[in-house]
Structure 1
Amino acid sequence: MEKQTTLVFFVNGQKIQENNADPDETLLQYLRNRLHLTGSKLGCGEGGCGSCTVMVSRYDNITDKIFHLSVNACLAPICSLHGMAVTTVEGIGSTKTRLHPVQQQLANAHGTQCGFCTPGIVMSMYTLLRNNPRPTQKEMESYFDGNLCRCTGYRPILQGFKSFIKDACPMGANCCQNKSVCNEVKNCENGLLNGEVNGTCNDNHLLYDPSQEPIFPPELKLNAHIYNTPLKFCNSQSTWFRPTSLNELLELKKLYPSARLIVGNTELGIEKKFKNAEFPVLICTTHIEAMNEVRLDERGLVIGASVTLSRIQEAMQSAVDSLPEWKTRIFAAFLDMLQWFGSHQIRNVAAIGGNIMTASPISDLIPLLMAAGAELYVMSKDNKPRHVKMDHSFLKGYRKTDLNPEAILISVNVPCSNEQEHFYGYKVANRKDDDISIVSAGLDVQFQKGTDVIENISCAYGGMAETTVMALKTMAALVGR
């Protein structure tokens, strides 16, 4: 199939057609330098501060749903946005017309001082409301784990946004904001509550009305094939491919065995910026169906290599909610670890396959996967598909795995636990949220049925050597104890 070479996407409702898209250009560079939308700020440049946060939306014609994600524009490659819609802080409100309720509430509560982080905080809250118009306090706070503010201490920010959450009012379900019609609000200019409503809302709160938000660009919805088009973009240093079939991906990896596979650019983007790394060929795997499925079978959870960490959280939480407790102990440990993995913006785009194949010695997930005995499904063009167990022999050195250059990780099987099995994950870092590990561990122990005698034990540690290591002598000594 002929690959399209014109990049098509929307920014704040405006159609963008770029004939010479640069594989090395990020969304933030494009917004600020080409479109002169300077609301999104360049802070850390590595997805750690959130000042560049924007909302990226896409339409899924299979489920007929629109998905909104908060994304770090400093890492998102411009080439990855084909067929999508981007919303920046300029696209939701204006000082010339009217501020968006999120912006107005932040101003009312004095939630901004220097203002550098404010656009990112606004867009994180805006994205949350687009996905869930009445979030809880916990959901709101978790959405800000990737937005750093050095001035306010967060109290006025959270206070300002409190009117948008469902558990803000002491009246609970009887709060006027939970009613379909609120006459007091309708009679107030710009929806501002002046005085009491039902005797509870007296803090000049603005209400959020999802029906007043801009719609997803109809052109992208009517022409859903745009999103699923194979792509190829080039500059003098690198070439970007986006295949849409597994066979095409296998052909490309055979043709370019040293090509790097990319999903969220959360690792390669940092290597480019801070280590001056060069990647002549990049292959984006976000559109390979087999690498994007998540399914629960009798053995465990099968996760495609391109599945993002946010989707993994959703799938594992669903399994924990629906299956017996003893069967989901491994999933529960993964969920506990994932909430400290990067930030919300990072988890929205980073994939499990990238975390495995990067083979970082301080990976948060590799110790858990090794301790759990996870199994990888691997394919290449000229070899039969094979299953590879993640054990002590999988990692061969610093950032080196047992897979050959042409091999492609298709999926990962994370097993269910049994009744005699207990599983835990641990992470030590400089701070709780949005930080890399100093030391991490995955620990799995299985007892002989009806006893407290150890039948099998796996102990995997990150940050202790040039690779994640397993304490083989300790494990052998503990069996039978």
Structure 2
Amino acid sequence: MWNAIFGSSEEPSPTALEVTFTLNGKQVTVGNEVVEGTSLNTYIRDVAKLKGTKFMCTEGGCGACVVAATIEHPVTKQKQTLSINSCLVPVFACHGWDIRTVEGIGNKRDGYHPVQANLAQFNGTQCGFCSPGMVMNMYSLVADGKTPTMAEVENAFGGNLCRCTGYRSILDAFKALAKDATPMMKKQCADIEDMYKICSKTGLACSGSCKKDSNFEEIVPKSVKIPAANWYKVTTLNDLFSVITSLGATVYQLSAGNTAEGVYRHYNRQFDARIDVKDVPDLRTINTSGGFTVGANVTLTEAIAAFKTQAAITGYSYLTELANHLDVVANTSVRNNYKVPGAKDIPADFRINFRKNASNPLGLLNSKATGEPALNMSIVCFFALRNALDSARKDAGDVADYYDIKLPATVETIAMTSLTDTSQFTFA
């Protein structure tokens, strides 16, 4: 039926009965032995017994669960390393991924990665609970030869919380790895690197021998069906339509980023089957010919980059504001997997009334619904101040992309940061 409607002639993809991925360089397979809804975080900690990766909020808001995943883009076929919230990603959605945890980039026996070494040398850890997530988030920023700026480093840590060390030492440790770090910070970084022999090919601690791991072949994304879990992975529209047809009256969910798990738990939703559609190229395409269209599976990270590029074209300058807005939605690790919301995902009425003795047992009572709105409303003041300071500094001739705002933001601090003095003020 679907082929008749859409006119597709694609051949069906070969189907596997389990998902396969690599975890810290070792190939693993997951099938019927794992129940549907098992997160990557649960698999890493309880099955692989790698306890370095932590969990806390299980909503994608604290960063304790962050790991690095090298993923092939279904359209460009390029591989890129991204920070991912392992608490939100189903383990069945990781087919073809190369996943690294904090244990997989360095340790006491084999040597530490520069990110790990810097965090320790800059005294950026205290209780250590948040450190693995911090390290893996920064590791993702510098992986694949990327060279972030200090501003990009700071912007990338909006989803990593620390409740004891304080962010100054943590950010100093990671900003020292930025391409525009100060000479003093770079010297400290160089001194640390002298203590560890780092492989120029992998960026990991040198093992003393270069050899190719021949224990497994490269994983090629393909269709997957795990009967016991009722989980399906498709890589073409043909496969998608075939699965939908085969399910008949079965209630199913199309799963892409799965970031909604932070609010709407899978065990509270009545789905009998889930279809992973994130690797369907037709849904991940950005088309700029004859207009500008963004596929339903494009992530917010990809959309932000596309909006900024398209904004340079006449008639699309408004996309700059949209990109700036999306940059403060969620955090980097969530945006790396968060798909652009569809029209039906946006409520028609934003007015909210709190009801006493509500009969709905699935009412939104977690921090995403009760804590974040108040925090977001209060932090608006800080960002408004930051925007005003940006303008003041530009007027004063400053062209630097990055500067610190010392908190608390007193009148004196604001005046000093704005690069102006009271003689320039106009009083009404």
TM-score normalized by the length of structure 1: 0.63
The alpha-carbon deviation at position 142 of structure 1 amounts to 1.3
What is the deviation of 1:304? 0.8
Partners of 1:434 and 1:118 lie apart in 2 by 27
CA contact (8 A) 1:340 1:435 kept: no
Contact between 1:133 and 1:208, CA under 8 Å: does it hold in 2?
no
Q: Residues 12-411 of structure 1 correspond to what in structure 2 (within 5 A)?
A: 12-20=24-32, 21-59=34-72, 63=76, 65-170=78-183, 191-192=194-195, 211-213=201-203, 223=218, 226-227=220-221, 229-235=222-228, 238-254=229-245, 255-256=247-248, 258-268=251-261, 270-272=263-265, 276-299=268-291, 301-320=292-311, 322-324=312-314, 327-353=315-341, 355-360=342-347
Deviation at 1:75, TM superposition (A): 0.7
Conserved 8 A contact 1:76-1:264: yes
The CA distance in 2 between the partners of 1:298 and 1:338, in whole Å, is 24
* Contact residue 75 and residue 284 of structure 2 kept, 8 A: no
Higher strand share: 1
Alignment check: 8 A CA contact 1:264 1:351 kept: yes
Corresponding residue of 2:368? none
Distance 1:6 1:153 in 2: 43
Alpha carbons of 1:340 and 1:220: their partners in 2 closer, same or farther (altered >3 Å)?
farther
Q: 1:190 to 1:342 in 2, by over 3 A?
A: closer
Counterpart Cα distance in 1 of 2:193 and 2:54 = 29
Give secondary structure in 1 for the equivalent of 2:310.
helix
Pick closer, same or farther for the CA change 1:125–1:25 going to 2, 3 Å.
same
List per-residue Cα deviations over 1:245-291 (Å, max 9, x = no partner). Answer: 21221233344463211101111464226x72232111111121210
Which one-letter code corresponds to 2:147 in the other structure? R
Give 2:375's aligned residue. Answer: 431
- Alpha-carbon separation, structure 2, partners of 1:230 and 1:270: 28
Deviations 1:57-115 (A, max 9, x none): 12359756321110000011111111111000000111223222111111111111121
How far residue 141 of structure 1 moved from its aligned partner, in angstroms, is: 0.8
Higher helix share: 2
Q: 1:127 offset after TM fit, Å?
A: 0.4
Give the AA of the match of 1:250. F
The question of whether the paired residues in 2 share the 8 Å contact of 1:22 and 1:78 is answered with no
The one-letter amino acid of 2:374's match is: N
Q: 1:262 to 1:231 in 2, by over 3 A?
A: same
SS, match of residue 211 in structure 1: coil
Q: In 2, distance between residues paired with 1:80 and 1:42? A: 19
Q: Secondary structure at the match of 1:328?
A: coil
How far did residue 117 of structure 1 move? Answer: 0.8
CA, structure 1 residues 35+221, in 2 after alignment: closer, same or farther (shift >3 Å)?
closer
Structure 2 residue matching 1:241: 3-state secondary structure:
strand
Output the TM-score relative to the length of structure 2.
0.70
Following superposition, the deviation at residue 170 of structure 1 comes to: 4.6
Does structure 1 conserve the Cα–Cα contact (< 8 Å) formed by 2:59 and 2:261? no
Sequence identity (%): 30
Is the 8 Å Cα contact of residues 31 and 226 (structure 2) preserved in structure 1?
A: no
| Pair 121,361 (structure 1): closer, same or farther in 2 beyond 3 Å | farther
Whether the 8 Å CA contact 2:64–2:132 is kept in 1: the answer is yes
> 279-288 or 264-273: which moved more?
264-273
SS in 2 for 1:352: coil
Structure with the greater relative contact order (CA < 8 A, sep ≥ 6): 1 or 2?
A: 2
Query: Matches of 1:124 and 1:15 in 2, distance apart?
Result: 23
**Secondary structure of 1:129 counterpart:** helix
The SS at the match of 1:37 is: coil
Distance, in Å, in 2 between the alignment partners of 1:267 and 1:24 is: 13
- String of CA shifts for 1:134-187, please: whole Å, max 9, x gaps: 210111011111111112221000111232111112599xx889xxxxxx96xx
Counterpart amino acid of 1:115?
G
CA positional deviation for 1:222: 6.0
- Assess if the C-alpha contact under 8 Å between 1:341 and 1:435 holds in 2: no
**Structure 2 residue ranges without an equivalent (≥5):** 1-11, 205-209, 351-371, 381-428
| Superposed displacement of residue 361, structure 1 | 5.7
Deviation digits for residues 205-249 of structure 1 (CA, Å, limit 9, x no counterpart): x8987534369x97799645x21x1011233xx511112221221
1:31 touches 1:37 (CA, 8 Å); kept in 2? yes
- Native 8 Å contact 2:148 2:178 kept in 1: yes
Residues 284/19 of structure 1: CA separation in 2 closer, same or farther (3 Å cut): closer
The 8 Å contact of residues 342 and 434 in structure 1, kept in 2 or not, is answered as no
How far 1:434 moved relative to its partner?
13
Relative to structure 1, is the Cα distance of residues 61 and 302 closer, same or farther in structure 2, using a 3 angstrom cutoff? closer
Q: Deviations over 1:17-49 (max 9, x none)?
A: 223243311100000000100111011011111
- Is 1:54–1:70's contact at 8 Å kept on the other side of the alignment? yes
| Secondary structure of residue in 1 paired with 2:51 | coil
Unaligned runs of 5+ in 1: 178-183, 193-205, 364-427, 437-481
Quote the Cα distance in structure 2 between the aligned partners of 1:344 and 1:269.
Answer: 15
